[in-house]
Chains A and B, each alone.
Chain A
């Protein structure tokens, strides 16, 4: 027997999905996340699933360790070493106030305080020339004083190092030499893009989490190998690919969105298997909803990510799948402001106390309570019957806010519950619009691929709002993030600033840069992942001369400047509605993504074992049309075979999730056991 195992550590549960290559079946299990030592929760899962670590060939692992450490500011005693005159770059940041009318606005404090930021004499010019050589003597003195300060981690950032990293490398060598055991990281090891604040912020964050992540991974390796594990451990990177342990230890910052990324990869894998070019991956959990786009089979990867959000947080330059998140989840609280205006979220009841209906002390109406009142959740079968939901409590909480709004009579709570869901829908639709319409894409050209505990409940309402004709619910929507991690390829992203007007010679230069980056990536992938099929994706960040914002254009396979220009113009026109045929175009940055294909389980074997078909039960469910409930068929998902077709209204229940099919819509079980809902109102 041999397994590939994916483990996703979430806030409440540690999810494990294993695929048994011999028996060709998947095993699902979860156990409470163990905060004292996360490794215990993982081992607990292995035990529960009865999987022996020594039979595990690959373990793919996603964790929120990095983001939690950064947000809670629980990291190492780190120092920053930088160019003389620039130690405050990290603190001055970009000097903007995203919340313009807050008189008391302040940004979150930098992860490395001022007294731990040190300057040395050196200077690189903007063309990479050495203006002032590195003062190695002073650096050595600094190193010995850092030893007395018990620094366990050092970030090195120099001005213009994107153009020439020689001083950063030299400094790192000196420091590693003099301070063995201290974690040393340089800005250009992490990103070769320009913008000093973003680069210094990135390397500071990396230094801050470095020692902790290294300790965690070494411990995980040891504990697993004590249990006989001798396979390969890979970490889930924010760029949507697997990372080697070696690379993770150097660039722990690459794990910043390690958790939610799994679902996106899963969505991409299903899109490929189902022959869908464009889809919107939509993930709704307890506190937030997240969405990302797959366009022509690929995710958009952004190179700037804000830790703690744009308003108060700090950026890191690390490739992260472009995910838009809104504070709208099952636990989102419905509330009235001073003018009796109804809001839903962003405050959430979370998992404790949770929605009122959980009966754990929550007393504020939530989205989940509204779903229960409308009959969309089964009070007896929630989480497979592990929790019985309190309908009376939910009803009472909703009545509390419906009365001031003037809703009265027998169906006041139903109207209010409908209203809560309408507003949640509008907010979530806003996130999807942000990621699609604002990039010049039309959501109607996409299928809505929905997962997470709440995704299947809300997907059809959302599809109506956005005029999306097709909704797809994959198997195991509640565990989908872990499922996705099972399906990931290895990936490395490299970028290099290359600023030049687009012409034939620039295209040659650019090709040389890409060839060099490809060599570098190939060597790294082969070293880290062994022999595998390796493939590349080249993208160029380009713009019209005079502009300051770039678009990233896929240019793999394009031969000359005419083809590249027309790719740029097509992309530009699609996004912005116009393109200038005369204006000069310039290159800004070369982005290479390199992939090493991993063995992937057959998707048709992922669902849990089928049960014989059972006729649906019926119960009354409220939909927005009319104030009266409709007699609605309730199916057990594991009993529905591929090819099964039925019409709405219907509910399809499974462990951890319920799919809502609206009146007038129809659904079909697809070849990979996915539910495919055809949204009638949205067909235009």
Chain B
């Protein structure tokens, strides 16, 4: 209705219709996002937000996606699958009412649980014009396999490469049967699949309605402009960064099969309004299941880091990422062969993303904070309850984030590869699992010192009330979160088993140990690195850290060269 009278010569879509379409697209993906969260069966979805909702154009280029969801999914987790479908079927063999699945390692390059489902959207006068694909990536709760002991992808479960689940509006029951019979948790999985399907179909219809309201010609033009504007916004931000070649590195502890540190070395090149992330010197593909593919690993981490550097305001679509170039030879830990084990594919992500950000420490001193704890810090308890029922509990550590140019680091939060992911309430854990939590506190002194110190990690003690199995996944224990601009490193995390009559022992990377009743598992997460020289920290801030007990007196004396008067007030040693 606006269309008829408000055309502006410069564009073929007037500025108002454009905004209404932009809001409309985001609102559709957000609406489906909320629906999935509410209808899903698995906590991966409604607690961890381990899913993404996106709309692509007819070529599989990401146009819009939900604003929630996990950061790695924001980097376009759905477009790759759609493009594979276009390659295999071509446009002619994708019909209204088709629903396609893909989780294939050669396409997505992530663990096989991440399964994209999509359906074509048709519009136009006779509903025959392909206007895009509505796609949803969901972490399927179980798809078989034996992670973390896997040594290749075939040990990790069922691979579905561009398989139609529905054809022309009819379900293909054989495919449903294959899936149902290849999962340890078929009830939950089939429930999630029906939520995913309902989301795809509703999203498709809402998109079609939006396009038909403005006409497909206007709709296409609007999408073109939306992508161009996002690109221009990203270029403007990069142009403001100083040109140069920037390098940073750290190491992961090991690949879980040997004890050799893995080099994470990244080069970032800024030229005018383009940024290149060069992973040439990063570790090669490894034997343990922490590999990922070119798109699912290399491109994803580079895009996530890029988005962190750009800032939170800009929505991410294919246009946003146009000024980002990737250099990544084959056979690296982030560009592994499709047969490589990938069950814990995202283990390196928090560190890789943080290293890319760190590379710009001196180029963007106002933006780049100290390093964060950067590891999943996972603990998984599984076994049987006294009544014989099975439990399988994934819990994770939250750690400190780095200090920045304006304030102390925050946290404990989950990693840079996570977002709106919430801690599981302790009271819920105690009510449903044979354990009691003995302590849940901030970990004093875990932060890196600096003008603005890092955030603190936490300490969580699980007292085990009944024998069960434990797996853990803690990294970066040897290479702690770094400081920037003269700030100091933080403490790394550590997992300790306290068992009566035995010395405490480290349990950071267990593939499965049996716990006994009475054991205490102590999870201590790493802090965040500091920002700026510790001697530039104000006495007021040091005092308030001591008052609150965030840091100990010994630590304050060591890091900040202060002494404590009888009145409990801090003074600089140099001023006494």
- A residues in contact (CB < 8 Å) with B: 85-89, 91-107, 113-115, 125-126, 131, 159-160, 162, 194-198, 337-343, 405-407, 415, 418-419, 422-423, 426-427, 430, 433-434, 437-438, 499, 544, 546-549, 575-578, 580, 583, 624-627
Contact = CB atoms under 8 A, between A and B. Distances in A.
A99 B229 CA distance: 22
Interface of A is mostly: loop
Contacts of B398: 92, 95
B425 A339 contact: no
B187 A546 contact: yes
A339 B233 contact: yes
Contacts of B421: 95-96
Contacts of A430: 23, 27
* Residue from B5, B10, B307, B438 whose CB has the most chain A CB atoms within 10 Å: B5
B427 A126 contact: yes
Contacts of A415: 6, 16
Given A114-B549, A433-B31, A438-B34, A544 B407 contact: no
9 contacts: A92-B440, A95-B414, A100-B312, A103-B308, A114-B548, A159-B427, A160-B430, A194-B428, A196-B427
B24 interface: yes
Contact of A338 (B35, B233, B357, B440): B233
Interface residues of B, number: 85
B188 A546 contact: yes
Contact of B23 (A107, A426, A546, A549): A426
B163 to A, nearest CB: 22
Contact of B11 (A406, A438, A577): A406
Given A92-B398, A101-B71, A115-B548, 14 more contacts: A94-B422, A95-B398, A98-B419, A104-B406, A105-B413, A194-B427, A340-B15, A341-B15, A415-B6, A419-B19, A426-B27, A548-B46, A576-B39, A626-B5
A668 B8 CA distance: 39
Nearest to B21: A426
Given A101-B311, A627-B5, A427 B367 contact: no
Interface string B299-320: 0000000011011100000000
B117 to A, nearest CB: 16
Interface in B190-208: 191, 194-195, 198
A341 B23 contact: no
A430 B41 CA distance: 26
B16 A196 contact: no
Given A88-B458, A160-B430, A578-B39, A101 B307 contact: yes
Interface in B531-549: 547-549
Contact of A576 (B38, B404, B414, B436): B38
A87 B440 CA distance: 8
Given A418-B16, A546-B41, A627-B5, A433 B194 contact: no
B188 A422 contact: no
A175 B27 CA distance: 51
B517 interface: no
Interface in B1-55: 1-2, 5-6, 8-11, 14-16, 18-20, 22-24, 27, 31, 34-35, 37-39, 41, 43, 46-47
B472 interface: no
A578 B198 contact: yes
Contact of B410 (A89, A106, A547, A626): A106
* Residue from A93, A438, A544, A583 whose CB has the most chain B CB atoms within 10 Å: A438
Contacts, number: 208
Nearest to A464: B1
Nearest to B406: A104
A339 B227 CA distance: 12
A88 B236 contact: no
A115 B458 CA distance: 17
A113 B548 contact: yes
Q: Which 6 A-B pairs have the closest CB atoms?
A: A100-B419, A419-B16, A85-B439, A106-B410, A95-B398, A114-B548
Contacts of A341: 15, 18-19, 22, 229
A214 B411 CA distance: 35
B257 interface: no
A94 B428 CA distance: 13
B50 to A, nearest CB: 13
Interface in B416-449: 418-423, 425-428, 430-431, 436-442
Nearest to B141: A546
B220 interface: no
Contacts of A342: 15-16, 19
A583 B236 CA distance: 53
B412 interface: yes
A407 B411 CA distance: 47
B248 interface: no
Nearest to A416: B16
A423 B19 contact: yes
Contacts of B9: 406
